[in-house]
Amino acid sequence: MAANPVVLVLGAGPRIGASVAEKFASNGYKVAVASRSGSGTKTAQGILSLKVDFTKPDTIPALFDAVKSEFHASPSVVVYNVAALTNPPDKDSVLSISAESVASDLNVNTISPYVAAQQAVSGWETLPKETKKTFIYTGNIMNISIVPIPAMLDLGMGKSASAFWIGLADTTYSARGFRSVLQRKALSRLFLTCSLGSFMLMSVTGMVNLRAWRSTALHMANSMHSWRTIRRMCHGTPRS
């Protein structure tokens, strides 16, 4: 078992992904990041860089295998910070986007994070019960509000679908006596806590404050049981 907790950041771009990875590393986590430009080696800071194609969900399990092989433990924190959209060929017609492009973007926005969540839960079962376990998904406002821009079609479809499966997991786990909480702090997000861990939708609206985002992600991973219950983003009604 690793002496330090492990975090896997899926989608390690130069803004949110890289910043979150650095924040966790500075707080004692062993860090792995996955992106299209991953090197398959460790950086000078000891961060494991993995290469992945998020349009191919069947490649996601190999990332978790690589993390466990390198750090001798499954990641207790998984951050999915990837998104895809396709601009319509006809800028005035939302339905001019090809079905192939829609399917590819749905893989990135919905299917790959779903597979990642499955892998996260499987790995959590191998960790000590007292270990805090967190799955964070970067969402947006489009699961509750229609953004009237044709280019948002694929992104809105995918993020809304992912908000639903997170919400459905909430309902399922709550029926089994597990607690679901939603809190607003620096950003809005869904935080679903169950016996195995927690699922969260972080909804980013407007300009992203990287310092707030990465600090919030770390706080969620380290102190998830302390927050007050608010249920808002996915269902719009409070629940105790």
Question: Average pLDDT, whole number, for the chain?
Answer: 74
Gap between the Cα atoms of 220 and 197, Å rounded: 11
* pLDDT tens-digit series, residues 120-136: 888 988 988 888 888 88
Highest mean pLDDT: which range of 37-51, 65-79, 134-148, 207-221 = 65-79
pLDDT at 23: 87
First to last CA, the chain: 36
Does the predicted TM-score (pTM) go above 0.85? no
What percent of the chain shows pLDDT beyond 90?
37
Residue 103 has pLDDT above 90, yes or no: yes
DSSP string, 106-164: HIIIIIHHHHHHHHHHHHHTTS-TTS--EEEEEE-GGGTS----GGGHHHHHHHHHHHH
Give domain 6-226's CATH superfamily: NAD(P)-binding Rossmann-like Domain (3.40.50.720)
Burial per residue of 61-95, b for 16 or more beta-carbon CB atoms within 10 angstroms, e otherwise: eebbebbbeebebbbbbbbbbbbbbbebeeeeebe
> 140-164, pLDDT tens digit by residue?
778 778 888 999 999 999 988 988 8
Rounded Cα distance, 212 and 204, in Å? 11
Q: State the pLDDT confidence band at 106, using cuts at 50, 70 and 90.
A: very high
Token pair in block for residue 135: 């799955």
pLDDT tier, 231 (very low <50, low <70, confident <90, very high otherwise): very low
- A 10 A CB-CB count for 192 gives 25
| Single-letter amino acid, residue 194 | C
Domain ranges of the chain: 6-226
